[in-house]
A = this chain, B = another copy of it.
Amino acid sequence: MTAEVLDRAGASLAAESARFTARGWMPGTAGNLSVTVGRDPLRLAVTASGLDKGELTPADIVVVDADGVGVLGEGGSEQRPSAEAGLHARIAAVTGAGAVIHVHALAAVTAGHHWPEGVVLRDLEMLKGIGHSAHGETVTIPVIANGQDMTVLGDAFEALYVRPASGENDVPALIVADHGIYAWGRDLRQARWHLELTEALLQIVLSRR
């Protein structure tokens, strides 16, 4: 990939990270964002680990492969990628997403605690914004248990994501219980839209408990 592609990706990742930091969704150095920059083989530009997400520069990205392992010699910094890059890559591989966002938004953590089997949503207008019907369709935001092995988390995600003989429950978001939320889309902007809408939907169902 060209330096220009990575520069653009880095600038977008820094800008969106600053936005989420301002919303309080990236406390400390929590969370990470990625953009898919290559498909064959799979390559993601992901925010570097351990940095303040409100102060990233376009250079603070790492190129990782399908396992979330840093790839040297293809551009990006030589900083350490987050361990969570492995789940970003799995989501990008399974869903075809062009961008993945992971933040520690409160409604997601709270909803994941109350509904560990998945958060059931139905008859809400904003379901349209995540690809479903506003009426008469039951949509479940999947919830998986937290863990430090991204292969285990990726398998748990994939088991819930691929529905037998249907694409019915294709939801562009995943709650990791006691941890946070992942949301994705064709690009970083749509991934943000999906994140904002899912968090808003979760706030609504939490307000009804």
Contact = CB atoms under 8 A, between A and B. Distances in A.
Contact of A123 (B29, B52, B146, B196): B146
Contacts of A197: 27-28, 30
A193 B27 contact: yes
A124 interface: yes
B204 A109 contact: yes
B30 A178 contact: no
Given A148-B135, A207-B106, A178 B125 contact: yes
Contact of A134 (B123, B126, B129, B148): B148
A176 B200 CA distance: 16
A197 B197 CA distance: 24
Count identical subunits in the complex.
4
A199 interface: yes
A67 to B, nearest CB: 21
A194 interface: yes
Interface in A156-209: 176, 178-180, 189, 193-194, 196-197, 199-200, 203-204, 207-208
Contacts of A52: 189, 193
A49 to B, nearest CB: 12
A207 B110 contact: yes
Given A125-B180, A178-B123, A196 B146 contact: no
Contact of A208 (B24, B113, B125): B113
A88 interface: no
A27 B123 contact: no
Contact of A146 (B125, B129, B204): B125
Interface of A: 24, 27-30, 52, 104, 106, 109-110, 113, 123-126, 129, 134-135, 146-148, 176, 178-180, 189, 193-194, 196-197, 199-200, 203-204, 207-208
